[in-house]
Amino acid sequence: MSVIISESANPLRGTVRVPGDKSVSHRALMFGALAVGETNISGLLEGDDVLATAAAMRALGAQVTRGEDGTWQVFGCGVGGLAEPGNVLDMGNSGTAVRLLMGVLAGHAFPATLTGDASLRSRPMERIMKPLRDIGATFVSAEGGRLPITMTGAVDPLPTAYEMPMASAQVKSAVLLAGLSVPGETVVIEPVPTRDHTERLLRHFGADVRVEDDPDGRRRVTLVGEPELEGRNVVVPADISSAAFPMVAALLVPGSAVTLTGVGTNPLRAGLMDTLRDMGGDLRLENSRDEDGEPVADVVVRAAKLRGVDVPAGRVPSMIDEFPVLAVCAAHAEGTTRMTGLSELRVKESDRLAAMAQGLSACGVALEETEDTLTIFGDGKAPAGGAEIDSDLDHRIAMAFLVLGMASRDAVRVAQAETIATSFPGFADMMNGLGANMSEAPS
């Protein structure tokens, strides 16, 4: 078990590029495997989660290789052309990978068994299985609709119009991916818009995807089934969810000025930047551009005095993965920060709402936690720190508390820090290069 100690940092200075976007990386590999011809992917996140997806695509018949220059090549099998795997598909810690892959497999009439690590096996999958049953897939799962799951794709997949009871980009994407093998149109109706990497990248590969908003704020996504996807070049933007950690650190450590290059600024993922600006954060976008349908920019961040805010519940889907590091930011701000509509955080890699509340309390931060809210009472001073945090194999919890240690009075120790490799290989080294003071405790 790895333990990393984070102590007071020097002013952070420099220009860095964080690893590639995890959401786009998973999708690029999967869509390349479902396309005809060659897909070349640059900037792919080479963390454990995405490498599990690459291994699964190989097991399903696609050719997936990494070139010496870091570019990944995928030679696909076409829509509906994947092959029955010869072994269990182990998706490690990645909820995104397993849920999207269930959508892909729902359109293939063969059995496959999916599993993951202890954390992934504890997470609910019924929300994915329900709409996929409507299409014709069948499932045998562990108790409570959890992994391991053996599923068999539909022999004669049926079109569906699925109205989602909750906002979830993973559920939406799973239904759309199943819809690739369905004759006719597959429709997903979301209560509020969620991240749209699937829609953008499917269009890039040649699918017909329509998006319409109704007056009530709901979004209707329609996919025309049985397209012939064609191999494409894909440039994966730097992950805004990973950029969040050096971004917040630069705001909190006095005297800091950091530039994060090539960050994906998809408006359905940019809720954290909006919130940090509301708090008084000094963030500026430069060199804004479009790469393969995704907006990208360089983010320039300078240290700033922050104030507490009320985070609108409607903003939650656009920053669901960033609440752990936002809570750290709120602990340093002056005034009260209220975050509502956070029940989804309880079914992530860990119960992130409980993990943040417990860890922040141990570091001397005043707060209140309910079933779906977190209220943090900041006084504008550095928190005490001084605690040891068990990450519970949650990479975002681990990195959030390492950031807290950079600007707290006493060092923070994070146990099970090896989990950071799932999304941000080399995190401590990159942060130390900017001016952080992180070290691995002796085993």
Active site residues: 321
Cα gap 229→207, rounded to integer Å:
6
What φ, ψ does residue 115 adopt, rounded to 5°? -145, -175
Cα gap 270→420, rounded to integer Å:
22
At CA 130, angle to CA 317 and CA 198, rounded to 5?
A: 45
C-alpha distances in Å from residue 303, one per residue of 10, 46, 380, 401:
12, 30, 14, 18
Cα gap 291→421, rounded to integer Å:
26
Sheet holding 334-340, edge to edge: 310-311, 334-340, 373-379, 366-369
Residue count (the chain):
443
Cβ(392)–Cβ(354) below 8 Å: no
- Per DSSP bridges, beta strands 294-302 and 334-340 are unpaired
List the end-to-end C-alpha distance of the chain, in Å, as a whole number. Answer: 8
- The DSSP letter of residue 363 is T
Torsion of CA 129, 131, 135, 140, to 10 degrees: 20
Which tokens belong to 251?
Answer: 């705001």
Sheet holding 72-75, edge to edge: 63-66, 72-75, 38-42, 233-235
Cα gap 283→280, rounded to integer Å:
9
What ranges make up the beta strands (E) of 370-441? 373-379, 388-390, 412-415, 437-440
What is the sign of the dihedral through the CA atoms of 28, 424, 101 and 55? positive
DSSP string, 237-291: PBPHHHHHHHHHHHHHSTT-EEEEEEEE--TTT-HHHHHHHHTT-EEEEEEEEEE
